Amino acid sequence: MDFFYSQDTLTTIQWILRAIISFLFLLFAVKLMGRRAISQLRLIDFLMALIIGNILAHPLSDEQLGLKGPMITSVVLVILYIISVFVSLHWGRLRNFFESPPLPLIENGQVIHKNLVKARISIDIILSELRKAKIEEIQKVALAFWEPDGTISFFLLPQYQSVTPGDIKLTTKPFSFPITIIKEGKIDFHELNRVGKDEGWLKRKVTMYNADITDILLATIDTNGNVKVFLYS
């Protein structure tokens, strides 16, 4: 455990052990903070990523710095992060401090320039996001919001929205989401049991494709019991 503390020099193995410990610790810390910190890099999430990354980076490049201090500091920061997230869920003022409410950038086809200034973005960014959303004209946008996570959400004017089956009163089939029962040559018995099927039934289905379970890259089943099989190419 000498590699854990400050040293004048470290061997190659000790450097490797420091990297492994730091990686596992950071993995645990991110897991503890939850998916929110991964999927939505907001103000507090960005702050945490910046600070923890900086704290753990130094012992990985300087043998005279131990891991104990940075890891203790990181644990305290993770605890503070979790507390602040839970408090912000129940205290609106703190939530508004960490996550500003959505800022309207376009209303009824008109760009709100003062809000562009507040968001510190240019018209070029608006045009870029419009292209990504496959919207060719600003005049087609009923509302556009600058979201707390830095993305822009667009809502088209009614006359430019796609027609749905509900609009023309068409009868539609119930929603059906396929369930994966084989993935990369392995049966998912939990999902198979959940749809009320067993391994014997599945093997009989697979024989229709002249294949073994290990030959299947992916197999799914829908709510009607229809199985689709994708073999390794």
**How would you classify the pairing of strands 179-183 and 152-156?**
unpaired
* Other CB atoms within 10 A of residue 71 CB: 19
Instruction: Give the pLDDT score at 7.
Output: 65
- Give the Cα separation of 80 and 78 in Å (integer): 5
Instruction: Give the pLDDT score at 39.
Output: 46
Which domains are assigned to the chain?
2-95 (no CATH), 103-160 (3.30.240.20), 179-231 (3.30.240.20)
Q: Which residues contact 221 (CB under 8 A, 6 or more apart)?
A: 178, 179, 181, 195, 197, 227, 228
Complete DSSP assignment for 92-128: HHHHHHHSPPPEEEEETTEE-HHHHHHHT--HHHHHH
With a cut of 70, which residues of the chain have pLDDT below it? 1-10, 26-27, 30-44, 46, 92, 94-98
pLDDT digits (tens, 9 = 90+) for 31-76: 666 544 444 556 667 677 777 777 777 777 777 777 777 778 788 8
Instruction: Give the pLDDT score at 166.
Output: 82
- pTM for the model stands at 0.57
Q: Phi first, then psi: what are they for 79, rounded to 5°?
A: -60, -45
Instruction: Give the pLDDT score at 24.
Output: 72
Instruction: Give the pLDDT score at 36.
Output: 47
Instruction: Give the pLDDT score at 223.
Output: 82
